[in-house]
Amino acid sequence: MINVLFLCHGNICRSPLAEVLLEAAIAADPALAGTVRVRSAGTSNEHEGEGMHEHSAALLRRRGLRTVHRAQQITPALADQQDLILAADRWNLRNALGLVAAGRRRAEVRLIRDFDPAAAGRELDDPWSHPISAYERTVEEIEAAIPGILERLRAR
């Protein structure tokens, strides 16, 4: 089983969107279905236990995807279980790199948008406190990275 973790600040907007969108793409891919576990977390505990943001949930609901989610903070133990950690931005990337360096297992840590050839090295826009159109843009950025993520997972 390949373990993938999406990481953002609060685990209510970007990382749950990415988690569910990748989960759906994996389920539709015969080469990967049943071989990858996708999760998400935040570097902060300020939203721990909360559901995903209402705009994130609305966009997933429109696609017929799950909206059940409980925010969690990344821990050294959770980081140590991962094969691939995909961070929304450089701040979360630094945090993940620190956790991985301190752990036993050495997960690959990258920015989510590194898997979009047109946006490698760029951060995923943070839609928090913006209108739903900002969430739609974030979904587009995630969806542009998914083919590259799938390719990376198939190569494992």
Q: What does the CA dihedral 131, 132, 137, 142 come to, rounded to 10 degrees?
A: 130
Q: CA angle 112-97-76, nearest 5°?
A: 110
Neighbouring CB atoms inside 10 A of 147's CB total 13
Is the full-model pTM beyond 0.75?
A: yes
156 pLDDT band, cuts 50/70/90, is: confident
Give the C-alpha distances (Å, rounded to integers) separating 146 from 18, 20, 57, 72, 80: 9, 11, 19, 23, 23
- pLDDT at position 104 is 79
| Residue showing tokens 């690959």 | 108
Q: Among 127, 110, 128, which Cα is nearest to 119's?
A: 110
Which domains can be identified in the chain, with CATH numbers?
18-154 (3.40.50.2300)
Name the residues annotated as catalytic.
Answer: 8, 14, 126
Above 80 in pLDDT, residue 116?
Answer: yes
| Token pair in block for residue 25 | 């793409």
Task: List, for residues 145-154, the tens digit of each pLDDT value.
Answer: 999 999 999 9
Task: List, for residues 23-67, the tens digit of each pLDDT value.
Answer: 999 999 999 999 999 999 999 999 999 999 999 999 999 999 999
Residue 73 per-residue DSSP state: B
| Token pair in block for residue 68 | 């059940």
